[in-house]
């Protein structure tokens, strides 16, 4: 079975500071991993995905994530935060078992605040 843990339900950074949102996964098979962003009162939008190609994945809006198998991590980073990055971020892993094959298993989310 697969699972995802996001460390920190709330993260606050200053504008221009590094953004680091943590995600650890559990999977008995090579995982497919995703980061989604949700702006207030909107649905989820895909930021980036790892599907067993390059371990450093670049996404939209300057975000990137690095797959580290030894640490079972897929942390999301951005060098310099903008006010517009304030949103909730979800890490997800693709399910590989039973009737749920291909479904996504989501973490509980991390709300990012950006201070001026």
Partner 1 sequence: DVKVTQSSRYLVKRTGEKVFLECVQDMDHENMFWYRQDPGLGLRLIYFSYDVKMKEKGDIPEGYSVSREKKERFSLILESASTNQTSMYLCASRLANEQFFGPGTRLTVL
Residues that bind partner 1 (CB under 8 A): 9, 32, 34, 36, 41-46, 49, 51, 90, 94, 99-100, 102-104, 106-109
Q: How far is the CB of 36 from partner 1 (least distance, A)?
A: 8
Element (H, E) at 10: strand 10-14
Q: Compute the least distance from the CB of residue 10 to partner 1, in Å.
A: 11
Pick 17 or 104: Cβ nearer partner 1 = 104
Which one, 40 or 116, has the nearer CB to partner 1?
Answer: 40
Q: Both tokens of residue 52?
A: 């067993």
Burial class (CB in 10 A: 0-12, 13-18, 19+), 4: buried
- Helix, strand, coil share (%) of the chain residues, nearest 5: 10, 55, 35
- Residue closer to partner 1 (CB basis): 14 or 52: 52
């Amino acid at each position: 079975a697969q699972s995802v843990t996001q460390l920190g339900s709330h993260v606050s950074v200053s504008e221009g500071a590094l953004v680091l949102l943590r995600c650890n996964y559990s999977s008995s098979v090579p995982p497919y991993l995703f980061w989604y962003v949700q702006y207030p009162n909107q649905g989820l939008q895909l930021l980036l995905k790892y599907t067993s190609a390059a371990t450093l994945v670049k996404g939209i809006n300057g975000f990137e994530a690095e797959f580290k198998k030894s640490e079972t991590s897929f942390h999301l980073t951005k060098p310099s935060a903008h006010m517009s990055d304030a949103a909730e971020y979800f890490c997800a892993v693709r399910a590989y078992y039973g009737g749920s094959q291909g479904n996504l298993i989501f973490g509980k989310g991390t709300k990012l605040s950006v201070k001026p």
